[in-house]
Amino acid sequence: MTELFSEPATEPATEPATEPATEPANELADELADESPAPPASPSPPAVALRPMRLEDIEHVSRLERRCYTLPWNSSAYATEVGNPSAYYVVATDPDGTITGYAGMWVIMDELHITTIAVDPVQRGRRIGERLLLSLIEEGMTRGAERATLEVRERNTVAHNLYLKYGFEDVAVRKNYYSDNHENALIMWANDMLSAGYQDMLRDYKARLAGTG
Ligand SMILES: CC(C)(COP(=O)(O)OP(=O)(O)OC[C@H]1O[C@@H](n2cnc3c(N)ncnc32)[C@H](O)[C@@H]1OP(=O)(O)O)[C@@H](O)C(=O)NCCC(=O)NCCS
């Protein structure tokens, strides 16, 4: 199942839009700038909400899946996963209810196995992937997980960075693991999820995410 992880993003991540810096050209412009009404604030990105995946989400999730992975799971796999009590699947939504990303995991004994994380290619760079990963880790710990694992393509730098940020380390390499291009899989583990240091890190990242919409 986790071969789902094998597929890298097919479209580049987007960067959040930023306003260009404007500087008055001379003193008069400076004065005018002081007296002018403040420019309208740039629109903030829409708030991201997370909720458990439902059967009725699967059609949309499958469409996203085909845009995010070159060897997508079929929709029946998601239907099975949503009904699996050892699994947890979550979707990220915009305020209008549009699904912008999804992620899933299994908890087996004290191990959290992350099976997938994907964000709509046009919504990347909004910390949706990070929120999804954090939600899996938190739910996994609630269910008794003490460590977590996943596999990722060796050249999937974006996902690898995300996992490194959340304390995962490269532990093993599965050579020629992926059937389409024989790319290696990196097996990553986060082994110290119950440590004070790890918990502090999660709290810190969670607080930062709360400040970003
Ligand atoms: C991996 C993926 C889920 C990240 O989603 P995202 O919402 O764009 O990522 P976020 O905005 O939450 O970024 C979180 C972290 O990811 C990493 N990251 C995100 N975009 C990056 C980029 N363009 N370059 C390098 N690292 C990047 C960074 O570590 C970032 O944290 P930082 O900015 O504090 O350093 C998304 O790229 C995706 O769906 N990829 C296709 C499917 C896939 O490969 N899934 C993983 C399979 S193992």
CATH number of the domain bearing residue 194: 3.40.630.30
Q: Is the CB of 187 under 6 A from ligand 1?
A: no
Would you say the pTM of this structure is higher than 0.75? Answer: yes
Q: Based on the structure, what is the number of domains in the chain?
A: 1
133 Cβ closer than 6 Å to some ligand 1 atom? no
Q: Is residue 5 part of a domain?
A: no
**Range of the structural domain that residue 114 is part of:** 49-210
Model confidence over 91-130: pLDDT tens digits?
A: 999 999 999 999 999 999 999 999 999 999 999 999 999 9
Q: How far apart, in Å, do the first and last CA atoms of the chain sit?
A: 32
Separation of CA 57 from chain center: 18
Per-residue confidence at 45, pLDDT binned at 50, 70, 90? confident
More confident residue, 11 or 184: 184
Task: Please check whether residue 2 lies inside any domain of the structure.
Answer: no
- Binning pLDDT at 50, 70 and 90, where does residue 70 land? confident
- Ligand 1: residue of 162, 189, 212 to mutate (most ligand atoms within 8 A of CB) is 162
Catalytic residue numbers read 151, 163
Q: Is the dihedral of CA 130, 52, 122, 40 positive or negative?
A: negative
Residue 176 lies in a domain: yes
Residue 120 in contact with ligand 1 by CB distance below 6 A: no
pLDDT of residue 33: 42
68 CB less than 6 Å from ligand 1? yes
Alpha helical stretches, state H, the chain: 27-35, 58-68, 75-82, 128-142, 157-165, 196-210
- Write the residue with the smallest CA distance to atom 22 of ligand 1: 158
The answer to the question of residue 4 being in a domain is: no
Q: Nearest-5° angle of CA 153, CA 202, CA 187?
A: 20
Ligand 1 near 129 CB (within 6 A): yes
Which residue has a Cα nearest atom 16 of ligand 1? 162
| Atom 13 of ligand 1, residue of closest alpha carbon | 127
Give domain status of residue 163, yes or no. yes
pLDDT at position 38: 57
d(CA 45, CA 9): 22
Q: What is the CA radius of gyration of the chain?
A: 20
d(CA 125, CA 106): 26
